[in-house]
Amino acid sequence: MTMAPDMLPPADRESVFVNAPVGVAVCRPSGVLLAVNPALGDLVGRRADDLVGRSLFELTHPEDVEAAQEVWAALQRQRTGPSRHESRLVRPDGGTVPVQISTSWVEATPDGAPEHLVLVIEDITDRKALEAQLVHRSLHDPLTGLPNRSLYQDRLRHALERGHRENTPTCVLMIDLDGFKAINDAYGHPIGDLVLVAFAERLRAVLRSSDTAARLGGDEFSIVCENTERADAQVLADRLRASVSEPMSLAGTSVELGMSIGIGWAPGGTDPLESIDQVIREADDAMYADKTTRRSR
């Protein structure tokens, strides 16, 4: 037979509270904790008894307090149905744990029990890690780990917007690997994949912290350089050429790689909506011109 919680004997209700596998607490409308079960104490790295009398907001990450207080205020205005929100709680060692907090309002009773709130607090560390992993996969190339075209376009747009606000130039380098199809044909696609991974590593090695490199598809790569004049972008391109000029030893095979590079430049203060296509087109045109020059040598 299933029994409603309020029909359970008091001792059994106490056992449910103490032995619940997730954090459970009772608190005043102000957020001051009145009762805390051991699971919640374990979650935040404190003894449950030490939490009684403290405010839940004291345990909340400072960056999350305002949002938590807004949820709290809305719950007190409406007092209908449970409220759920995500937050981070802080442990004594400074570590944080992401949680989902489900809050229910309990009105005062005729026998004198004051109004209070019941909280169910669940650790969502694994869920947040999975979400972060899925987001990363959606924005990065699975072979090289570099940003993909979607993230690249977002980074370029933000760079141009900052350049517009702060009157700083932005450069784009478009890169195409010369003879990559011949490498695939001669050695097979597994070696071709290793070439792309090795090139991405060399690309990362020459980047500045403010640069964003991306694989746009196939053997096409690009770099977004914020607050960068054309001459500085050329220095970066020269460093990359020098890095790539060294033969690659991959799975016992020595592979020589060439590349063509073009630079596009957007002066500071330009409209980002107008300059995004222009700077990419300029870099593309310069890259194809570089490829033509290299083929004629």
Question: Could you report the per-residue pLDDT of 172-195, keeping only the tens digit for each?
Answer: 999 999 989 999 998 899 999 999
Superfamily of domain 140-295: Reverse transcriptase/Diguanylate cyclase domain (3.30.70.270)
Rounded CA separation 180/214 (Å): 17
Quick count: other Cβ atoms within 10 Å of Cβ 120?
Answer: 18
Is 5-131 a domain of CATH 3.30.465.10?
A: no
Active site amino acids: 219
pLDDT band, very low/low/confident/very high, at 76 (cuts 50, 70, 90): confident
Give the global pTM: 0.77
Could you read off the pLDDT of 29-55 as tens digits, one per residue? 889 999 999 999 999 999 999 999 999
DSSP per residue, 129-168: HHHHHHHHHHHB-TTT-SB-HHHHHHHHHHHHHHHHHHT-
Q: What is the residue extent of each domain of the chain?
A: 5-131, 140-295
Spell out the alpha helix ranges (H) of the chain.
10-19, 38-44, 48-51, 56-59, 62-78, 125-139, 149-166, 180-187, 189-206, 230-244, 272-295
Q: Which residue did the predictor score with more confidence, 8 or 134? A: 134
pLDDT of amino acid 7: 44
For residue 110, what are the contacts with CB-CB under 8 A and spacing of at least 6?
none
The pLDDT score that the predictor gives to residue 293 is 84
Backbone φ and ψ of 231, nearest 5°: -65, -40
